């Protein structure tokens, strides 16, 4: 496999963990949580500083996950306790995290060129190149996250969280505190985002203040692409487990599309525009396909009646 496409797959899998975090808020709570852009960079910054401070790379990743969870909890409390609209609460946290991330690192960029990482250590143990290790580690972590999420959302509190997004008034009438479920969802979501940020930081060997810019767009694009692929699959993979897997697959497809476009000579500065176009197309395809099927069924019905 070409090195560029191997890199795209590894990036897609590692970013797929972030996509799973976005899935929790966007698909289960119907909230486009803009905290993601800040908490992703927060995870990377905390991870980099922890490694440079002498922490074990795995401990650094756990610290990044905890930092992301804390950022999500802040957004959740702003939204539920002070009744600030969810999108505005996310923006406030995201803006605050820009300054906080600068404070954590003390500068805009922190390299890890000679520092040990999860990937370098795994490469030393197995003898495999780090490009292959990145894919293996990403797949293993993604599988663990999907399994844990599938289990969690099957529990009583997980079911209540899913019900909050489906019908908030009904679940509140049953005596469930929707404020708590929203805070839990936002905390869990950004914990996964922080985890992904920490892994990406170690994968690319540096943390940057702007590494989370556009993360929410990438997350939404991957989710929509995954759903489109799920609908176009003959068996129509619409179960909850399938939707989780599709989110990660959508992330890999998204980064493969980016790699292909870059190989064709597209300017890297146009990547944000490409991301917006991919999201727009992915959102339009299901609508156009559904209308096409409706028209086809109407015409077939008319022919049958004739």
- Indicate if the pLDDT at residue 151 is higher than 90: yes
- Indicate if the pLDDT at residue 202 is higher than 70: yes
DSSP code at position 174: T
Residue with tokens 């922080």: 194
SS3 state at 31: coil
Long-range contacts of residues 144-150, Cβ cutoff 8 Å, at least 24 apart: 145/17, 145/20, 145/192, 145/195, 146/20, 146/241, 146/244, 146/245, 146/248, 149/20, 149/24, 149/244, 150/240, 150/241, 150/244
Task: Please give the pLDDT value at position 66.
Answer: 98
* Rounded distance between C-alpha atoms, residue 155 and residue 21, angstroms: 18
Mean pLDDT of the chain: 90
Give the residue-averaged pLDDT of 114-137.
92
* The listed CATH number (1.25.40, 1.10.3470, 1.10.10, 1.10.1200) that belongs to domain 3-296: 1.10.3470
- Indicate if the pLDDT at residue 238 is higher than 70: no
Please check whether residue 176 is in contact with residue 163, taking contact to mean a CB–CB distance below 8 angstroms.
Answer: yes
Question: Is 0.75 topped by the overall pTM?
Answer: yes
SS3 state at 34: coil
Task: Please give the pLDDT value at position 22.
Answer: 96
- The pLDDT-based confidence of 118 (bands split at 50, 70, 90) is very high
Give the residue-averaged pLDDT of 61-83.
96
Residue with tokens 């399994």: 147
Q: Name the residue with higher pLDDT: 109 or 300.
A: 109
Q: Name the residue with higher pLDDT: 305 or 255.
A: 255
Task: Please write the tens of the pLDDT for every residue from 154-185.
Answer: 999 999 999 998 888 888 888 889 999 999 99
- Indicate if the pLDDT at residue 304 is higher than 60: no
Task: Please give the pLDDT value at position 188.
Answer: 97
DSSP code at position 82: S
Query: What spatial distance separates the first Cα and last Cα of the chain, rounded to whole Å?
Result: 55
Give the residue-averaged pLDDT of 40-49.
97
Domain boundaries, the chain: 3-296
Please check whether residue 285 is in contact with residue 228, taking contact to mean a CB–CB distance below 8 angstroms.
Answer: yes
* Rounded distance between C-alpha atoms, residue 269 and residue 112, angstroms: 25
* Tokens matching residue 57: 């790379």
Task: Please write the tens of the pLDDT for every residue from 1-10.
Answer: 577 788 899 9
Q: With CA atoms as reference, report the closest residue to 192 among 262, 144, 127.
A: 144
Task: Please give the pLDDT value at position 175.
Answer: 86
Task: Please write the tens of the pLDDT for every residue from 210-220.
Answer: 999 889 988 98
Give the residue-averaged pLDDT of 119-123.
93
Q: Work out the percent of the chain whose per-residue pLDDT is above 90.
A: 63
């Amino acid at each position: 496999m070409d090195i560029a496409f191997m890199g795209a797959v590894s990036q897609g899998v590692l970013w797929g963990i972030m996509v799973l975090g976005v899935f929790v808020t966007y698909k289960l709570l119907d909230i486009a949580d803009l905290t993601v852009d800040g908490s992703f960079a927060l995870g990377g910054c905390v991870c980099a500083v922890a490694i440079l401070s002498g922490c074990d790379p795995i401990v650094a990743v756990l610290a990044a996950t905890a930092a992301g969870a804390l950022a999500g909890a802040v957004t959740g409390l702003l939204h539920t306790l002070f009744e600030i609209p969810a999108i505005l609460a996310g923006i406030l946290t995201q803006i605050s995290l820009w300054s906080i991330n600068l404070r954590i690192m003390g500068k805009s960029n922190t390299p890890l060129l000679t520092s040990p990482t999860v990937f370098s250590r795994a490469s030393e143990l197995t003898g495999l190149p780090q490009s292959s290790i990145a894919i293996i580690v990403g797949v293993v972590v993604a599988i663990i996250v999907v399994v844990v999420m599938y289990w969690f959302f099957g529990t009583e509190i997980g079911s209540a969280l899913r019900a909050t997004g489906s019908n908030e008034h009904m679940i509140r009438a049953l005596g469930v505190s929707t404020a708590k479920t929203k805070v839990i969802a936002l905390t869990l979501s950004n914990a996964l985002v922080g985890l992904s940020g920490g892994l990406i930081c170690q994968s690319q060997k540096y943390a940057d203040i702007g590494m989370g810019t556009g993360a929410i767009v990438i997350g939404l694009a991957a989710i929509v692409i995954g759903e489109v692929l799920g609908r176009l699959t003959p068996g129509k993979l619409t179960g909850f487990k399938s939707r989780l897997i599709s989110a990660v697959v959508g992330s890999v497809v998204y980064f493969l599309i980016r790699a292909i476009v870059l190989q064709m000579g597209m300017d890297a500065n146009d990547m944000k525009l490409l991301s917006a176009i991919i999201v727009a197309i992915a959102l339009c395809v299901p609508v156009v396909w559904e209308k096409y099927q409706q028209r086809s069924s109407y015409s077939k019905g008319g022919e049958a009646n004739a």
